[in-house]
């Protein structure tokens, strides 16, 4: 999120530079403001730097959901040790620049007091001058922060997304470093326009004072300004290393997957090689026989107090789509029991019988009420969920596929096969009218316990409804 905030700042700065270039054209044609002749060019330069960097980083950066999970259960190889060490060293190198940055910031504050007068400022010129003078150390601080965040992000994300995330961050870093040099160039361009004018007018004392002030301004940030490109080049080298290691790994994987010719393999080998692989716990429980329809709806039955105050639901109505007389069920967070309606019997129970919150989730045990046998565990993984067999193996992953105002979607995956879809929709003006639909994929070819999907449904409905309510209020 911090990197996306920096990207948004870069985009705003690029748009601001474009607007400034258009507005400053009137100043550039005035004799009184001859020093402003470079402003249109600087605005266009800033726009040409910031806008491509922001757009490139946004397009290259993987989706947030993809950075915190394994997509469709694909392997998550660890980051190569050499690349991890390089990222840690670069992060440390960026951290070592913090003392110099703080000293630069302090020096700029003292220099601002010399050139920006106190007192009332109805036109805002003093504030504008202060922002301009602090722009370089501020941009340098953002660059150093981006360096550190890049290392943390690339080390933390799944290995299959590391190279692309690093590439997006390097593009963003390039825009920040280039912007720093563009600001420095503009300061000296204005100096080259102002000093000759003052000298020609005979005000040599003021020209000498301005020249000395700019020299102090340059010296204050010289150390940080010189080292930022070196750290950036280090991240460019790290990107090249990541791409090289990724290419080598891909070639190795392709070589491993290439067919091997062996002489007269035994029949047992052929049988084992062609046997379909089923995940542990793929057998269907007795509770699953109650859910033999292809679609179900889960609708909250909220009381007036829940609808107006708590925004949480205690009881749910579960029905087939279209409704049938034998396809009626209910679930209650007061007991954690899912039962057939009317008059039972109880089918499943969730332990603990505690609904999830907006920002907090905890694992649930799915118990078959008749035998008190534990069928599976429902474990949160960020915005996603995993259905885990009591032996510890993952039976299915429930991945959030869409998320937005009024609609949230999930896909239940067994390996590479989609076995179930969840779709939460806001059918009216309030969240009390929302419902979650379950659609089982009949042609997936993979056995899947439908009772586990129905047990997870109240959890997904509660999370989606609370998130939608928060977006509506904000």
Domain residue extents for the chain:
2-251, 290-473
Distance CA 298, CA 331 (A): 9
How confident is the model over 96-109, as a mean pLDDT?
85
Question: Which of 189-198, 211-220, 420-429 has maximum average pLDDT?
Answer: 420-429
- Residue 470: partners with Cβ closer than 8 Å, 6 or more residues away: 358
pLDDT per residue over 9-61, tens digit each?
888 888 887 887 777 666 555 544 555 555 666 677 778 888 888 888 888 88
Distance CA 94, CA 227 (A): 9
User: Tokens 């590391």 correspond to what residue?
Assistant: 162
How confident is the model over 53-76, as a mean pLDDT?
71
Q: Rounded to two decimals, what is the model's pTM?
A: 0.58
Distance CA 216, CA 110 (A): 11
How confident is the model over 305-320, as a mean pLDDT?
75
Strand 346-351 and strand 364-368: the pairing is antiparallel
Task: Inform me whether the pLDDT recorded for 216 exceeds 80.
Answer: no
**Residue of 231 and 430 predicted with greater confidence:** 231
Largest CA distance in the chain: 101
Structure tokens at 124: 């805002």
Number of residues assigned to the chain: 474
CA distances from 36 to 30, 40, 45 (A): 8, 8, 15
Distance CA 294, CA 419 (A): 11
């Amino acid at each position: 999120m911090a990197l996306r905030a920096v990207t948004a700042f870069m985009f705003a700065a690029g748009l601001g530079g474009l607007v400034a270039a258009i507005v400053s054209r009137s100043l550039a044609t005035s004799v009184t403001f001859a020093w402003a002749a470079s402003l249109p060019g600087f605005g266009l330069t800033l726009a040409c730097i910031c806008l491509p960097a922001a757009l490139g980083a946004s397009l290259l950066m993987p989706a947030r959901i993809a950075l915190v999970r394994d997509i469709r259960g694909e392997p998550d190889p660890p980051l190569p040790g050499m690349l991890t060490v390089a990222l840690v060293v670069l992060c440390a190198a960026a951290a070592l620049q913090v003392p110099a940055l703080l000293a630069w910031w302090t020096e700029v504050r003292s220099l601002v007091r010399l050139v920006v007068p106190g007192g009332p400022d109805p036109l805002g010129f003093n504030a504008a001058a202060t922002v301009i003078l602090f722009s370089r150390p501020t941009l340098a601080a953002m660059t150093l922060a981006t360096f550190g965040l890049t290392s943390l992000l690339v080390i933390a994300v799944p290995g299959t997304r590391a190279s692309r995330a690093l590439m997006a961050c390097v593009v963003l870093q390039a825009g920040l470093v280039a912007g720093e040099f563009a600001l420095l160039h503009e300061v000296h361009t204005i100096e080259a326009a102002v000093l000759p004018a003052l000298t020609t007018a005979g005000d040599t004392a003021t020209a000498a004072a301005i020249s000395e002030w700019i020299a102090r301004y340059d010296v204050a940030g010289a150390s940080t300004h010189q080292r930022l490109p070196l750290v950036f080049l280090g991240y460019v080298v790290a990107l090249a290393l990541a791409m090289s290691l990724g290419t080598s790994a891909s070639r190795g994987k392709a070589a491993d997957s290439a067919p091997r010719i062996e002489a007269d393999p035994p029949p047992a080998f052929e049988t084992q090689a062609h046997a379909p692989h089923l995940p542990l716990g793929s057998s269907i429980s007795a509770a699953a026989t109650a859910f033999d329809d292809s679609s179900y709806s889960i609708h909250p039955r909220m009381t007036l107090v829940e609808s107006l105050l708590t925004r949480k639901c205690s009881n749910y109505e579960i029905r087939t789509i279209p409704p049938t007389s034998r396809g009626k069920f209910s679930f209650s967070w007061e007991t954690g029991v899912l039962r057939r309606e009317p008059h039972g019997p109880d089918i499943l129970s969730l332990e603990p019988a505690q609904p999830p919150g907006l920002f907090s989730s905890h694992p649930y045990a799915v118990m078959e009420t008749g035998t008190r046998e534990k069928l599976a565990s429902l474990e949160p993984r960020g915005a996603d969920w995993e259905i885990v067999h009591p032996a510890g193996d993952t039976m299915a992953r429930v991945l959030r596929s869409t998320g937005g105002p009024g609609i949230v979607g999930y896909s239940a995956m067994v390996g590479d096969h989609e076995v179930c879809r969840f779709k939460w929709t806001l059918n009216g003006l309030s969240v009390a009218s929302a419902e979650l639909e379950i659609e089982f994929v009949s042609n997936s070819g993979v056995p899947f316990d439908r009772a586990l999907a129905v047990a997870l449904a109240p959890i997904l409905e509660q999370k989606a409804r609370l998130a939608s309510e928060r977006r509506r209020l904000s």
